[in-house]
């Protein structure tokens, strides 16, 4: 795998582009948020003195660069790239629901969630009254 990280070529560049780009973007977002969090943690840690405080952005930017390169190379590893290409091929085979069907299904799900939430609230109120009546709670 280390040898693959040093390469710059793109494996099968015309296949599975959308899934590979979205996967790389997800990796970059995770790495970026991690570096941002690390930067904030290091600034407030007290581990660095004024003379070495310039190391904090250097560490964060270095890890950000490595993470960005890793994200680019990860989606071009032959085994992972072939998997992502197969995923995109399967996604293209799926029959997606129409907008009307999706809207109806979403309404049913939302109604069911509200119905269950109200039912659980009523059960909670009833059991609370039962326990107060029995003197278990006040």
pLDDT, residue 1, reads 62
Distance separating alpha carbons of residues 67 and 31, to the nearest angstrom: 6
The pLDDT tens digits of the residues spanning 86-122 come to: 999 999 998 889 999 999 999 999 999 999 999 999 9
Phi-psi region of 135 (alpha: psi -120 to 50; beta: other; left: phi over 0): left
Question: What residues does each domain of the chain span?
Answer: 2-94, 96-138
Q: List, for residues 33-86, the tens digit of each pLDDT value.
A: 999 999 888 887 777 777 677 788 888 999 999 999 999 999 988 899 999 999
Alpha carbon distance 20, 74 (integer Å): 9
CA angle 92, 80, 85 (to 5 degrees): 20
Residue 85 is predicted with a pLDDT of 94
Q: pTM of the entire structure?
A: 0.67
Residues 35, 41, 44, 50: is their CA dihedral positive or negative? negative
Q: State the residue for tokens 């970026």.
A: 32
Q: Please, are residues 60 and 39 in contact by the beta-carbon 8 Å criterion? A: yes
pLDDT, tens digit, for every residue of 24-34? 999 999 999 99
Closest C-alpha to 66, from 21, 34, 19, 20: 34
**Residue linked to tokens 């795998």:** 1
Predicted confidence at residue 42, as pLDDT, reads 84
The gap from C-alpha 22 to its chain's centroid, in whole angstroms, comes to: 11
More confident call, 92 vs 2: 92
């Amino acid at each position: 795998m280390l040898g693959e990280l040093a390469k710059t070529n793109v494996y099968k560049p015309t296949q599975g582009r959308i899934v590979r780009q979205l996967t790389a973007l997800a990796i970059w977002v995770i790495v970026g948020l991690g570096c941002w969090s690390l930067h904030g943690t290091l600034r407030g840690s007290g581990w660095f003195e004024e003379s070495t405080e310039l190391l904090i952005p250097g560490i964060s930017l270095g890890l950000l660069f490595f993470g960005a390169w890793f994200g680019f190379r990860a989606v071009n590893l032959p085994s992972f790239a072939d998997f992502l290409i197969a995923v995109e091929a399967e996604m293209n085979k799926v029959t997606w629901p129409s907008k009307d069907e999706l809207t109806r299904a979403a309404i049913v799900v939302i109604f069911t969630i509200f119905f269950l939430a109200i039912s659980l609230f009523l059960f909670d109120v009833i059991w609370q009254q039962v326990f107060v009546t029995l003197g278990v709670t006040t």
